[in-house]
Structure 1
Amino acid sequence: MAQIYKADETFDRGYFQGASCAFGVFDGVHRGHRFLLSCAQDTARQNDGKSIALTFDIDPDEMFHAQRLRKLMSNEERLEMLAQTGVDAVVALPFTREFAASSPEEFLVRTFGTGVPAHLHVGFDFHFGAKAAGAVPELRTWADGHGMQVHAHDLKSEDGAPITATRIRLLLADGKLDEANHLLGRPYFMTGIVRPGRGEGADMGIRTANLEVPDQMRPLSDGVYGAYAHVDGKRYKAAVNVGVAATFADRATATCEVHILDFDGDIYGQYMKVEFMKWLRPMRAFDDISELIAAVQANIDWVRENL
């Protein structure tokens, strides 16, 4: 796994000299991002230099659009996944209001200092500097005067539409999990700490692990899903309820309830990762408990037979 560096005042920006960088936020580390990173690796090999994933320590939208932001993964997960893509290093720029207020030229000077990379790979829609005033033409003008070659890539899927984190978030919000997973190049996942739930599942003979997931980390639409739960390094089939349980809406809160098949351990307080594989049905209220139990059991049976 690649080394992760925080580009604070102690970081030697000479590290960028001669390197090939892919620059972006990289929320989700989706197929478009991985293509960009592979391009940086290619030019690094051709020039006997380092390949670097250059990003920010937070998603800039956390600062400017926190209320409406729905992230595909945490900042820590994003940096760790970038470090596993095959690049030589990950460099995270501290994103502050002062840094965000930089003019496009100041932004680039503060990012690279005197250690300008040989190659910089970005998406065609790359913007930088205060109010996103800088774009690829401004980037190329600056690069031409500093010996850096800019490669702007069109990151599109087979249907000709761009692969973006925003597009994937919208697909997840619409329950189009298969399409979202295709663009991600992997199953969408949530992580969190298992907390005690309301207890109705145990009363019905169907225990669930209540996963604590902040709203900002939950772009997935409410519904019931077939999934895999990762606990203590093992993977289990799971039926997952995301959102407010409509039958218990008078006392429920938005949550992620995971019924792990063939598992009976005590995992309160433990970390869990849930990979979502298939949308099964929308949330709905049931007339009585027996109808609810029958529906839940049908979901469990589908997961057991099809995952």
Structure 2
Amino acid sequence: MKILHVTHPLKEDEIPQQDTVLIMGFFDGVHRGHQKVIKTGVDIAKKHGLRSVLITFDRSPRVVYQKEQNFKYLSTEKRKAALIEKLGVDDLYFIKFTTDFSKLTPQEFVDNYMINMRAKFVVGGFDYTYGKRDIANMQTLPQYSRDKFEIITVPKQTFDEEKIGSSSIKDLILSDQIDQANHLLGYYYQNTGIVVHGLQRGRTLGFPTANLAIGQDELIPSIGVYATRIKVDGKWYDSMTSVGYNVTFSENTGITVECNIFDFDQDIYDQPITIEWIHYLRGEIKFNGPDGLIAQLHHDQDDSKALLRNLE
């Protein structure tokens, strides 16, 4: 898959050299609903001998339009690209969502990023917009298309009669329901980060942990203890991870993400990691002292190992 990072207006060499099927959307998380849209576009491209081209943005439009602060993403740009590549897309465009780009009229957007991109088909979800929702949606697209392409609208994808959407998945991740979130994503949710120095309290308890600094734009799961897997230096390891405040010791550290990696004894400070959240085990508990905490950690470790073993 070819990946292009572009800024409006497109340069001549950034425009496809053959006719395309355009797949349109922001696709944060590339969840099951997004996957349906993307697969639809890829299948049409294969059927008609066209190039499948997915157009997305380098940031959420909400950051520009609504000036939303501290917006959290389900997928980094790198993760999004990897998930999209698995679905068979030929070309992936990340458009820099500048203020100037955001001021394009619906017709200007269609002219520049659909017709100019040699689209024969444009595929989008039922709720895809390319400007103000009431005038720039899939229903109004025919009036801007200049009859240059066919429009394919993918209907709402649901689970238990509820729309599968990035916002609802975020709500699940933040409310102890990572298992349900994983189901709607179609894969295990991930974060990326760096191993940093912590207080090394876990080592004194017999459960040494890697203290993880997660990317600041990434959504971190809710407070609690999880069965996880962590990738270090290209290799995956079973683990359990706590997201919490260290309430037993009242250490006032703020929220920390601490990962106990099973059967592992390496110095990995400052190394990049990827963590995969498999299952929510329990909430954070304040114990009267270290003995109660140690006993609980043994239970958590046993539960995690049993669950992770069953994934193999």
TM-score, structure 2 as length reference: 0.91
Q: Distance in 2 between matches of 1:249 and 1:113?
A: 60
**Equivalent position of 1:134 in the other structure:** 136
Residues 1:177 and 1:39: Cα distance change in structure 2 (over 3 Å): same
Q: Matched residues in 1 for 2:179 and 2:234: separation?
A: 25
Distance in 1 (alpha carbons) for counterparts of 2:133 and 2:153: 20
**In 1, Cα distance between equivalents of 2:17 and 2:130:** 18
Q: Which residue of 2 aligns with 1:5?
A: 4
Unaligned runs of 5+ in 2: none
Aligned residues: 305
Give CA-to-partner distance per residue, 1:232-286, whole Å, 9 cap, x none.
2222111100132222444212121100000011111111111111100011211
8 A Cα contact 2:191 2:220, kept in partner: no
What do residues 65-108 of structure 1 show as CA deviations (whole Å, max 9, x unaligned)?
Answer: 54352211212321233233211111111110111122211222
Check whether the contact 2:40–2:123 (CA below 8 A) recurs between aligned residues.
yes
SS for the counterpart of 1:12 is: helix
Cα RMSD (Å) of the superposition? Answer: 2.0
Q: Percent of counterpart pairs with the same letter?
A: 30
Give 1:76's aligned residue.
78
Matches within 5 A, 1:113-262: 114-129=116-131, 133-143=135-145, 145-262=146-263
Task: Specify the SS of the correspondent of 2:124.
Answer: strand
**One-letter code of the match for 1:69?**
F
Q: How far apart are the structure 2 equivalents of 1:133 and 1:74?
A: 30
1:52 maps to 53
Alignment correspondent of 1:96: 98
Q: 1:305 to 1:294 in 2, by over 3 A?
A: same
Greater mean alpha carbon deviation, residues 292-301 or residues 152-161: 152-161
8 Å CA contact 2:125, 2:153 repeated in 1: yes
Amino acid corresponding to residue 93 of structure 1 in structure 2: I
C-alpha distance 42-149 of structure 1, shift in aligned 2 (>3 A): same
Q: Secondary structure at the match of 1:245?
A: coil
Cα separation, partners in 2 of 1:69 and 1:132, compared to 1, 3 Å: farther
The structural deviation recorded for 1:130 is 5.1
Measured against aligned partners, the alpha-carbon deviations of 1:156-184 in whole angstroms (never above 9, x if no partner) come to 13423211111110111111111111111
The one-letter amino acid of 1:240's match is: T
State the partner residue of 2:109: 107
How far apart are 1:133 and its partner, in Å? 4.3
Which segment drifts farther, 15-24 or 256-265? 15-24
Change in Cα spacing, 1:132 to 1:269, as seen in structure 2 (3 Å) is farther
**Residues 1:306 and 2:307 aligned together:** yes
Separation (CA, whole Å) in 1 of partners of 2:62 and 2:182: 23
Q: Which amino acid aligns with 2:183?
A: H
Paired position in structure 1 for 2:278: 277
Report the Cα offset of residue 215 of structure 1. 5.0
Shift in CA distance, 65/247, structure 1 to aligned 2, threshold 3 Å: farther
Contact 1:17 / 1:118 at 8 angstroms: preserved in 2? Answer: no
Mapped partners of 1:32, 1:11: distance in 2: 33
The answer for unaligned runs of 5 or more in structure 1 is: none
Tell me how far apart the structure 1 counterparts of residues 192 and 284 of structure 2 sit (CA, whole Å).
Answer: 21
TM-score by length of 1: 0.92
Distance 1:129 1:164 in 2: 19
In the alignment, is the contact (CA less than 8 A) between 1:3 and 1:83 conserved in 2?
no
Contact kept? 1:230, 1:236, Cα under 8 Å: yes
**Is the CA contact 2:36–2:154 (under 8 Å) kept in the aligned structure 1?**
no
Which amino acid is 1:4 matched to? Answer: I
User: Residues of 2 paired with 1:257 and 1:52: CA distance?
Assistant: 39
- Name the residue aligned to 1:22: 23
8 Å contact from structure 2 (residues 227, 279) kept in 1: yes
